[in-house]
Amino acid sequence: MLKTLEMQDLSCGACSATIRKALDIAGFESVRVEIRKKPHTVTAEVKDDEHLELMKLVLRGHGYPLIDDEVVAPDMSKINFS
């Protein structure tokens, strides 16, 4: 079955290409990435719930959070800018 996940902002075609390649390497088929309209989405053929969790893991592992993921800003107070 095709499963579509809503993503946080994907900024360009390079994001789309990276996602398609990562999911392809992980064995996903029918991968589509929509960046022209919001919410941005990633769609792929998913076999079961475990496969869906793998899809989410691949996306997050490549730095692409899902729309419902909490994104924590880095603590800039610990960075030495001198």
Is 6's pLDDT higher than 80?
Answer: yes
Residue 47 included in any domain: yes
* Residues contacting residue 63 through CB under 8 Å, at least 6 positions apart: none
Query: What is the Cα–Cα distance from 7 to 74, expressed in whole angstroms?
Result: 20
Residue 80 included in any domain: no
Residues 9-62 have pLDDT tens digits of 888 889 999 999 999 999 999 999 999 988 999 999 999 999 999 999 999 999
Is 81's pLDDT higher than 80?
Answer: no
pLDDT of residue 76: 73
- If you write DSSP's letter for every residue of 30-82 in order, what string do you get? EEEEE-SSSSEEEEEE--SHHHHHHHHHHHHHTT--BTTS--PPP-GGG----
- Could you check whether the bond before residue 39 is cis, i.e. omega within 30 degrees of 0? yes
Query: What is the Cα–Cα distance from 78 to 64, expressed in whole angstroms?
Result: 25
- pTM (2 d.p.): 0.83
pLDDT of residue 70: 85
Residue 81 included in any domain: no
Say which CATH number the domain at 63 has.
3.30.70.100
Q: How many domains does the chain have?
A: 1
pLDDT of residue 80: 79
Residue 75 included in any domain: no
Residue 11 included in any domain: yes
Q: Determine the 3-state secondary structure of 43 from DSSP.
A: strand
